[in-house]
Amino acid sequence: ERVEIIRDLRLGKFDVLIIKTAWEKLYPNKPMPFEVVSCSALETDDQAGVKTLCQYLETVLPSDLSIKIGIFDRDEAGTKFFNEKLTNHLFKKPQGEDYKRHQNGKAYAILLPTIVDDDNEYWDSENPCIEFLFSKKYLKAHNVEEKYR
pLDDT digits (tens, 9 = 90+) for 72-107: 887 788 888 888 888 778 999 888 888 999 999 999
pTM above threshold 0.85 = no
Give the pairing of strands 99-102 and 91-92.
Answer: antiparallel
Please say if the pLDDT value at position 42 is more than 70. Answer: no
pLDDT at residue 118 greater than cutoff 60: no
Q: What pLDDT band is residue 8 in, cutting at 50, 70 and 90?
A: very low
Separation of alpha carbons 130 and 115, rounded Å: 10
* pLDDT at 47 > cutoff 60: no
First to last CA, the chain: 41
